[in-house]
Structure 1
Amino acid sequence: MRQPPDRLFAHPLAQVPDFVFNEDVARVFPDMIKRSVPGYPTIVENIGVLAGRFAQPHSVLYDLGASLGAVTQALRRHVQIEDCRVIAVDNSSAMVERCREYLHAQDAMFQELLPVEVVEADILAFPLQPSSLVTLNFTLQFIRPEQRPALLERIRQALLPGGALILSEKLRFADGRQDELLSDLHVAFKRANGYSELEIAQKRSAIEKVMLPDSLEQHRERLLAAGFSQVVPWFQCLNFASMIALP
């Protein structure tokens, strides 16, 4: 499937609107996230590998905030467990439509993949079945901070013994110098991937009010408060990280 380049912020905008996951973003999202998130392909592929450790027979694997289904595809490639299925949930109709297209293309390329259901819904209200694995891959940061604890508590309650939550997020850092250094290096990463100063500045303006990152310490404290017993960071590249939370 052809993946057009991300040029959404390449021209000056009289007023930069808040970032939304609309059809324009869905169209260029594969290119956007690969050029914007350091380590993204590694995170996605290894979520599939890690899932093989936690997925259990007769259970559901959730991809919450699935966007175009990259994590769902990785789960289906790597998990081969009896009577296991994936439910991918996103609240963007544009993302859900394209996610279904990508998964249909995956079905045509591979055999014996896990069954998958793609649902357009708000994950804050979506009922969770007993699950051995839940993924929030760069999703929690787009949820209002005051709504995050309740979501994590519901996920914890849905997880089966021996299951896991895999949470990937952009991080901020309490140490101002460390935060500034990693932010500057992230900008350098985007420059190296072909984004102009205008694109970087306008994207920052669009996203700063809708994506609200936490520190690793805040994530750990919130997850423990939600009932998780252990939080294990397993990947970090610049100011982007992924962690495993165990029930």
Structure 2
Amino acid sequence: MTGKDGIYATEQRVKDFSFDANVVEVFPDMIQRSVPGYATIVSTMGKLAGQFAQSNSKLYDLGCSLGAVTLSMRRNIAKENCQIIAVDNSQAMVERCKMHLGGFKSDVPVDVQLGDITDLTINDASVVAMNFTLQFIPQDQRLAVLTNIYNGLKPGGVILLSEKIIGESDQQDNLLIDLHHDFKRHNGYSELEISQKRTAIENVMRPDSLSTHLARLNEIGFTQTQVWYQCFNFCSMVAIK
């Protein structure tokens, strides 16, 4: 069982955000109330994984957290001899992810690993999912991480990338931020919670603009990139090798 997110409900000395045991306990509520369209994003990533999965290949969920995308992918895979590798650098997340996955039977094996995706070797992959993960990687390492993924993809393989983005100008960015904060207010977050969460996350999450993402994927060599979802400053893309 998980609870309601009240981590920033009381005034406190705000520390940098981390995916620790406290966050794990409220993560489903936190992300549903903070990310517009999260359920649609997860379900669609699973459908895309089912569409692009190749027989005798691996599918990766990088930054798997509690395994929502892994479960969605596993439900949609019809190809034979596929394996999902789910990786996260939070011990608390990995432990809870294993518990969640253990409650669902499937013919598709899943290997949940504790690890740093900047050091991970990708190979024989038909699908790599990164659901709001790249934004937590230092910006000067993102090109290398995505290049490593590209090199580990089979021809016709895809990366499924969801990210919080910044606007292309200060005015556009402020508009997106205002819309997002209004979304959070509508979902019951107080002004104090919104302010303290923003302070906690500003040093650990550095979003890029959509144009930066698209240019980077093109530079690496992805032949086709499509934005299939955007609501406010949250965006999902698929890039095909």
Q: Would you call these one fold, judging by a TM-score over 0.5?
A: yes
The match for 1:214 is: 208
The match for 1:62 is: 60
For residues 44 and 168 of structure 2, the distance between their equivalents in structure 1, rounded to whole angstroms, comes to 28
The match for 2:4 is: 5
1:72 to 70, 78, 81: 70
CA-to-aligned-CA distance 1:196-242 (integer Å, 9 cap, x gap):
11110000000011110011100011111122122110111111010
Q: Does 1:169 align with 2:163?
A: yes
For residues 165 and 238 of structure 2, the distance between their equivalents in structure 1, rounded to whole angstroms, comes to 15
User: 1:165 touches 1:244 (CA, 8 Å); kept in 2?
Assistant: yes
For residues 126 and 39 of structure 2, the distance between their equivalents in structure 1, rounded to whole angstroms, comes to 23
The match for 1:95 is: 93
User: 2:122 touches 2:153 (CA, 8 Å); kept in 1?
Assistant: no
For residues 155 and 207 of structure 2, the distance between their equivalents in structure 1, rounded to whole angstroms, comes to 29
User: 1:77 touches 1:113 (CA, 8 Å); kept in 2?
Assistant: no
Deviation at 1:175, TM superposition (A): 2.3
For residues 140 and 150 of structure 1, the distance between their equivalents in structure 2, rounded to whole angstroms, comes to 11
User: 1:80 touches 1:114 (CA, 8 Å); kept in 2?
Assistant: no
Q: Does 1:16 align with 2:44?
A: no
User: 2:88 touches 2:116 (CA, 8 Å); kept in 1?
Assistant: yes
One-letter amino acid of the structure 2 residue matched with residue 65 of structure 1? G
2:104 to 96, 103, 106: 106
Of all paired residues, the percent bearing the same amino acid is 54
Flag the 1:29–1:227 CA change in 2: closer, same or farther, 3 A: same
SS at match of 2:54: coil
The match for 2:49 is: 51
TM-score between both structures, scaled by the size of structure 2: 0.98
For residues 161 and 76 of structure 1, the distance between their equivalents in structure 2, rounded to whole angstroms, comes to 21
Unmatched 5+ stretches in structure 1: none
The match for 1:122 is: 116
The match for 2:27 is: 29
Query: What RMSD over aligned residues (CA atoms) do the two structures have, in Å?
Result: 0.9
One-letter amino acid of the structure 1 residue matched with residue 5 of structure 2? D
Runs of at least 4 residues off by over 3 Å: none
Q: Does 1:178 align with 2:172?
A: yes
Farther-moved stretch of structure 1 (57-66 vs 173-182)? 173-182
One-letter amino acid of the structure 2 residue matched with residue 85 of structure 1? Q
2:224 to 230, 235, 238: 230
For residues 245 and 78 of structure 1, the distance between their equivalents in structure 2, rounded to whole angstroms, comes to 19
For residues 29 and 214 of structure 1, the distance between their equivalents in structure 2, rounded to whole angstroms, comes to 23
Q: Does 1:155 align with 2:149?
A: yes
CA-to-aligned-CA distance 1:28-86 (integer Å, 9 cap, x gap):
11110010001111000010111111100000000000011100000011112100110
For residues 142 and 233 of structure 1, the distance between their equivalents in structure 2, rounded to whole angstroms, comes to 20
For residues 245 and 167 of structure 1, the distance between their equivalents in structure 2, rounded to whole angstroms, comes to 8
For residues 27 and 244 of structure 1, the distance between their equivalents in structure 2, rounded to whole angstroms, comes to 30
SS at match of 2:101: helix
One-letter amino acid of the structure 2 residue matched with residue 5 of structure 1? K
* Count of matched residue positions in the alignment of Structure 1 and Structure 2: 241
One-letter amino acid of the structure 1 residue matched with residue 102 of structure 2? H
